[in-house]
Amino acid sequence: MKIYAPAWIIISLLAVKILIEVKQRKATFSSVFKSVIITSAMVVTFSVINWLDTAPRKHDEFSRNGETYIADIDLSDLTRWVNENTTERAVVASNFGWPKIEQDEFKNFRAPCLWYRNKEVELETCMRTKDALLVAYMHRRTWLQATSVHYTGFTPEMDKRQTTTLGFAAEPNAEHLQQMESDGVTWYVVDRSTTDRTNWEPYATVRFTNDSFYVLELNTSD
């Protein structure tokens, strides 16, 4: 409302002026027409100037807010590096958002994912990651991320991707690499809180690291 207040004030003053002139029988078509044209020009000019001033800030939300957003420094540094050092067509896999998973817990993350609402309570019959921060900040396609959004659509392909995604961070093997390579995945982001591993050779090479993440370049056949 503050944005349009000056325009409404101008229009209101014009309306009052016209009413006074009509009441005093001084209004003519010419004077009313001129008043409308002048007022319209003022309103349009004000609106254009206001739009030019506010549009960049409205449409570039991340730049406007910067570090006041919810990503921490490590995540910001990671995604900045990925965005600057990979191609826009790159496909990235990551175990970000999942906790550290022991071998006997994998079945809980692979169970069919059913979701339903009981009054105001949302219930889910499987374990999924709901953290989509990496996707929000990293302007790249992700192979699998935030699987909670899929709910009942958990397909065998998704099961295979999730098994590979979770397994590669902890115990990489040739089958994991082949699965990702066949789908065009060339990079893998490791959440360091989920694994104690520091080396993924011969399957991948560490290209970036900070206190929270590794960025791996997959050693594909290409």
Q: Can you give the pLDDT at residue 134? A: 86
Read off the pLDDT of each residue in 153-176 and give the average, rounded to a whole number: 82
Domain that holds residue 183: 67-218
Residues 132, 195 within the same domain: yes
3-state SS track over 163-203: HHHHHHHHCCCHHHHHHHHHCCEEEEEEEHHHCCCCCCCCC
Q: What is the mean pLDDT of the chain?
A: 76
Residues 212, 171 within the same domain: yes
Residues 53, 75 within the same domain: no
Q: Can you give the pLDDT at residue 53? A: 73
Cis bond before residue 202 (omega within 30° of 0): yes
Q: Can you give the pLDDT at residue 72? A: 81
Residues 87, 197 within the same domain: yes
pLDDT tens digits for range 108-161: 666 555 555 565 555 555 566 667 788 888 889 988 865 555 444 556 777 788
Residues 45, 85 within the same domain: no
- How many domains, the chain? 2
Least confident of 4-8, 52-56, 71-75: 4-8
Q: Can you give the pLDDT at residue 204? A: 96
3-state SS track over 5-22: HHHHHHHHHHHHHHHHHH
Residues 21, 109 within the same domain: no
Q: Distance (Å, rounded) from C-alpha 108 to C-alpha 110?
A: 6
Residues 36, 116 within the same domain: no
pLDDT tens digits for range 198-218: 999 999 999 999 999 999 999
Q: Can you give the pLDDT at residue 215? A: 97
Residues 81, 176 within the same domain: yes
The two tokens of residue 84 are 């600057």
Q: Can you give the pLDDT at residue 1? A: 43
How does strand 185-191 pair with strand 91-94? Answer: parallel
Residues 113, 212 within the same domain: yes
Residues 39, 137 within the same domain: no
Residues 41, 77 within the same domain: no
SS3 at position 162: helix
Q: Can you give the pLDDT at residue 77? A: 92
The two tokens of residue 181 are 């390579």
pLDDT tens digits for range 33-71: 666 677 777 777 777 777 777 666 555 555 555 544 566
Q: Which residues contact 132 (CB under 8 A, 6 or more apart)?
A: 97, 145, 146
Residues 81, 31 within the same domain: no
